[in-house]
A and B are shown apart, each in its own frame.
Chain A
């Protein structure tokens, strides 16, 4: 039940997160902004527009947005956002979740290559380069997180963090958190890795891949990227600060509390992220690997710190 609510919440809340982030940026830049409801209007409009199939594209192009969105929805059903004990929890652990995330990325990269345009190829080449470099960091961070819980299953990690709140401030945990934040930025195409609001094709990564999508399919693509950001922020929040997550088989009140808690957490994280973006510019593409190498090092330190601390305390 809670898992279904999670899916619905992510589905409905993702445009709100996007709108909220744009609004925070707009206000900090002295603008009025389109309001936090703007993405809903955009999506509703896109769903009413003509569907265009570019000549020569195959079923890969047609299905990729649905795979990207579907894999994100599945992640939303697996991870403990509102309550523990999703029926799918034992079907996939954190490694599985990372795999699903990459499945969505790969679907869109293939779709971009499928169009056979110069910009599509460029975007997918860049996206896949970054994804390849992000993977080691993510998996090492998963390793670091799984050490205290003795498991990579999400429910186990989150409940371990709930039972032992002080562990959040352990060096391993902090390092893993920083590494995961960088990874989240890279995987959702935010500054400083990618600029979601650019108009210049040559500087694009993610937007370059979806230049050929129109109407309803574009709506799904944009929705999917919003959901990705939302789920990753929520996951990040709950892995490190699992306060308010309802237990297995929660009461209605517990679910409501959980929903409120995750809303607040995601709102805070998204606002901080948006505010941070005002102060930074996009990195040159070939500086990005340096950033990712840095996050890899942090993750490696996180693992060694955790395992050495674990050995000394035993």
Chain B
């Protein structure tokens, strides 16, 4: 029963919520506070993935703003895309994008996804995410902090 004690000792570890950011785009369906995302790694170095994990962890808890990662693009409202798009991931990215029911958003996380970043001139690279699918929200940074990612998510959920 040490687990119960631990739960009591640790208590709430979540960071206090900051004020809601100004929303730049309206929630896609008009319903605030619900955003399911399918994560697509289009060619990332996994730095952004670590930060995304952080954003959905107990400390930053993106779920309290209504954002959640889901397994199937059919269940999603949009894509959370990281990394510069490589040749091999171009088609899968497009396939995933088209599998998402409308209305849908694309959130590009990290410098690579926004403008190619460090890998912009690589030989295996198609370009930033915006060259392949329309991007609605960009989160700059290499990698962006969980707080930045959460701010971007809140802009879309409106919560």
Interface string of A214-226 (1 = CB under 8 A from B): 1100100000000
* Contact status A28-B7, CB under 8 Å: yes
Q: How many A residues face the partner with a CB closer than 8 A?
A: 34
Q: How far apart are the CA atoms of A198 and B69 in the complex, in Å?
A: 10
Chain A, residue nearest B61 (CB): A31
A interface majority secondary structure: loop
Q: Are A45 and B61 in contact (CB under 8 A)?
A: no
Chain B residues with CB below 8 A from A49, complex form? 29, 77, 101-103
**Contact residues of A between 19 and 56, Cβ < 8 Å to B:** 26-35, 38, 41-42, 44-45, 48-52
Closest partner residue, chain A, to B70 (CB atom):
A199
B102 partner residues in chain A, CB cutoff 8 A: 49-50
Judge whether A286 is part of the interface by a CB distance below 8 angstroms: no
> Are A44 and B66 in touch, CB under 8 angstroms?
no
Within the complex, what minimum Cβ distance (angstroms) separates B63 from chain A?
A: 5
A30-B12, A38-B34 given; A211·B74 CB < 8 A = yes
Q: Given A30-B13, A31-B61, do A279 and B3 touch, yes or no (CB 8 Å)?
A: yes
Contact A45 B77 (CB under 8 A): yes
Let me know if A50 and B101 touch, CB within 8 A.
yes
Give chain A residues whose Cβ lies under 8 Å from the Cβ of B66: 34, 38, 41
Q: Are A218 and B29 in contact (CB under 8 A)?
A: no
Most buried by B among A27, A29, A45, A278: A45
- Tell me if A135 counts as interface (CB < 8 A to partner B): no
**Contact across chains for A32 and B61 when beta carbons are under 8 A apart:** yes
**Interface range on chain B (Cβ under 8 Å from partner):** 20 to 34
B26 contacts the other chain (Cβ, under 8 Å)?
Answer: no
The chain A residue sitting closest to B63, CB to CB, is A34
Q: Chain A residues with Cβ under 8 A from B77's Cβ?
A: 45, 49
B32 adjacent to A41 (CB under 8 Å): yes
Give CA–CA (A51, B75) in the complex, Å.
Answer: 11
- The listed residue (A32, A38, A44, A204) touching B12 by CB distance below 8 A is A32
Q: Give the residues in chain B near A252, CB-CB below 8 Å.
A: none
Is B132 part of the contact surface with A, judged by Cβ < 8 Å? no
By a CB distance below 8 angstroms, the chain A residues around B3 are 278-279
Q: Which of B21-35 contact A (CB under 8 A)?
A: 29-34
Q: With an 8 A cutoff between CB atoms, is B72 at the interface?
A: yes
Mark contacts of B55-73 with chain A using CB atoms, 8 A cut-off: 1 yes-contact digit, 0 otherwise.
0001001011110111110
Q: Return chain A residues, CB-CB under 8 Å to B68.
A: 34
Q: What's the Cα separation between A41 and B30 when bound, in Å?
A: 11
Which residues from B are CB-within-8-Å of A296? none
* Contact present for A31 and B14 (CB under 8 Å): yes
- Whether B74 and A212, one on each chain, are in contact in the complex, defined by CB atoms closer than 8 angstroms, is yes
- A143 touches B (CB below 8 Å): no
CA distance A215 to B29 in the complex (A): 11
Q: Which residues of A sit under 8 angstroms from B13, Cβ to Cβ?
A: 30-31
Q: How far is the CA of A199 from the CA of B149 in the complex (A)?
A: 20
Beyond A33-B61, A44-B31, A48-B31: 5 further Cβ-contacts under 8 Å? A31-B58, A52-B101, A211-B71, A211-B72, A213-B74
18 A-B residue pairs with CB within 8 Å: A26-B61, A30-B7, A31-B14, A31-B63, A32-B12, A32-B17, A32-B61, A33-B61, A33-B63, A38-B66, A42-B36, A45-B29, A45-B34, A49-B29, A49-B77, A49-B101, A214-B75, A278-B3
